[in-house]
Structure 1
Amino acid sequence: MTFTIVSLLPGTQNTNGDAQNATVLERRAEWAGIAARTVSVERAAELPGEVDAVVLGSGSDASLERSRDVLRTMHEELRRWGTEGVPILGIGTGLELLGWGVEHRDGSSLEGLGILPGRAVPRDGRVTGDVVVASPRFGRLVGFENHARDYVGAEGSPLGRLRAGAGNGRDSGQEGVVMGSVIGTHLHGPVLAKNPAFADALLRIMAERRGLAYEPGEAAAAIDAYAAAARQAQLRAAGIELAPEA
């Protein structure tokens, strides 16, 4: 058995290296003794017949409409996979495209796929910097945010609450959105590389769907030590190094 991990539109949706979250899942699966492959998909005809996880990274506003139009041709598959419990991870504009859509400052709007609740709306100025999130499902997450829009309408199902950073904005105190195994976040990093426990949680979902058990392999320990050091540095920068994991 081989895990199939789809990296969606890596040619346009990878401005922050977010497409590499697919590689993180692939490597950690292999370290656990599970064969895995990453399939880069730029058009619907390239979608594999069976999928275990999907990663949709962040792109520029210049490519936003083009990416949306391509994703529309895959709407049926994405919605079905989300209903079936396949982990789908959208980051940055990937989150926005999976949501209800994007409102622009000039009053125009771009309709999203509607797979996740919430809509991206203009904010006053771009926000960049470290983010720390307490997620009840995935533990404490760290990452870097870089976005010029807030995200509203996800208050009932956020990824977690903020310990540092702007997250969804509008003084919501929240970051991201979750609907079953479909997850959207502003966290770059790539987020799964900085948060191995988050990656392992997705891999357990993938394994359970296939009737398997997943436990991190021994080879992951050395890499996780690097991730832990990066996390500690980010927590120190955010001034919450001694905050308990939550």
Structure 2
Amino acid sequence: MSDSSLRLVWIYPDLLSTYGDQGNALVVERRARQRRLNVTRIDVRSDQPVPTSGDIYLIGGGEDRPQRLAAERLRRDGGLQRAVDNGAIVFSVCAGYQILGHEFVNDLGRPEPGLGLLDVHSTRGEGARCVGDVLADIDERLNLPPLTGFENHQGVTHLGPTARPFAKVRFGRGNGTGDGTEGAWNDTVFGTYMHGPVMARNPQIADLLIKLALDVNALPPVDETWYEALRDERIAAATAAT
């Protein structure tokens, strides 16, 4: 696969990169290079335009005010919407996930328009924060092993009719709606509340994004020893705590 190339775009690391979410970009880049893919990674700060020629776009979590600023800039820029229209893959976490929906509650307590790339909207939960390890079963259509991650959010995300739950929780809060859903996805856009960073715990998600970007059904195998040891450790720890 050395003749293939991949353009990876990490959006607004200066605003949206809490809980080690930038590690997702590192894992996707590493997994691609292990398959001898040529990878060009672009870190786009909030004062820079979002390129429309990327293959995979990653967005992390952030505090409430940076989330509002990021949403404002992304709406004005329009580059991410155009990239999705061109078939790009997007994976978002927490605050980034909320931004991809129709609306969320900003740091001023007001509704803030999102990008509408996922058919979801987010409100602010009235009870305790959703904090702790999560174990969930990813939508079987994606053919991925169970999802492990760490959630820390006050938001509650409601799925519309065209959004599919990314996963169903075994334990944890996920979207916070009480229906057992975690995250959302459509054909090319994915959102989750899972930190960890989620790609380090679930490298098969990174592989899924690469396959979608390259339009292939399989990738050459790589050494999974370290990833599986981390997954086993975190799943065992979370299970023991429940």
TM-score normalised by length of structure 2 = 0.88
Which residue is equivalent to 1:9? Answer: 12
Which residue is equivalent to 1:170? Answer: 177
Q: Give 1:188's match in structure 2, choosing from 191, 195, 198.
A: 195
2:150 counterpart of 1:144: yes
SS in 2 for 1:85: coil
Q: Which runs of 5+ in 2 are unaligned?
A: none
2:134 counterpart of 1:131: yes
Alpha-carbon distance in 2 for matches of 1:160, 1:170: 13
TM-score normalised by length of structure 1 = 0.86
Q: 1:4 to 1:169 in 2, by over 3 A?
A: same
Segment of structure 1 superposing worse, 183-192 or 120-129: 120-129
Structure 1 residue 106: Cα displacement: 7.5
Q: 1:170 to 1:3 in 2, by over 3 A?
A: same
Q: Cα deviations across residues 202-221 of structure 1 (Å, max 9, x unaligned)? A: 1111111xxx675245xx40
Which residue is equivalent to 1:243? Answer: none
In the alignment, residue 139 of structure 1 is paired with which amino acid? P
Q: 1:103 to 1:46 in 2, by over 3 A?
A: closer
Q: Cα deviations across residues 169-227 of structure 1 (Å, max 9, x unaligned)? A: 1211110000111000001111111111111111111111xxx675245xx40xx2222
In the alignment, residue 58 of structure 2 is paired with which amino acid? V
Alpha-carbon distance in 2 for matches of 1:96, 1:83: 19
Q: Give 1:121's match in structure 2, choosing from 120, 123, 126.
A: 123
Judge conservation of contact 1:103–1:119 (CA < 8 Å) in 2: no
Task: Summarize the alignment of residues 40-189 of structure 1 with structure 2, pairs less than 5 Å apart.
Answer: 40-43=43-46, 45-75=48-78, 77-103=79-105, 108-123=110-125, 124-135=127-138, 136=140, 137=142, 138-154=144-160, 156-189=163-196
2:234 counterpart of 1:234: yes
Alpha-carbon distance in 2 for matches of 1:213, 1:108: 43
Alpha-carbon distance in 1 for matches of 2:66, 2:179: 28
Judge conservation of contact 2:151–2:174 (CA < 8 Å) in 1: yes
Judge conservation of contact 1:105–1:122 (CA < 8 Å) in 2: no
Q: Cα deviations across residues 8-52 of structure 1 (Å, max 9, x unaligned)? A: 000110011212212211111111011102101124754345211
Alpha-carbon distance in 2 for matches of 1:161, 1:202: 20
Judge conservation of contact 1:104–1:121 (CA < 8 Å) in 2: no
Alpha-carbon distance in 2 for matches of 1:184, 1:213: 22
Alpha-carbon distance in 2 for matches of 1:81, 1:127: 32
Judge conservation of contact 1:200–1:216 (CA < 8 Å) in 2: no
Task: Summarize the alignment of residues 28-47 of structure 1 with structure 2, pairs less than 5 Å apart.
Answer: 28-43=31-46, 45-47=48-50
SS in 2 for 1:237: helix
Judge conservation of contact 1:154–1:177 (CA < 8 Å) in 2: no
Alpha-carbon distance in 1 for matches of 2:70, 2:233: 34
SS in 2 for 1:30: helix
Alpha-carbon distance in 2 for matches of 1:201, 1:64: 26
Which residue is equivalent to 2:219? Answer: 215
In the alignment, residue 158 of structure 2 is paired with which amino acid? V
In the alignment, residue 133 of structure 1 is paired with which amino acid? A
Alpha-carbon distance in 1 for matches of 2:51, 2:33: 20
Alpha-carbon distance in 2 for matches of 1:163, 1:108: 32
Judge conservation of contact 2:68–2:106 (CA < 8 Å) in 1: no
Judge conservation of contact 1:19–1:57 (CA < 8 Å) in 2: yes
Q: Which runs of 5+ in 1 are unaligned?
A: 241-246
Structure 1 residue 139: Cα displacement: 3.0
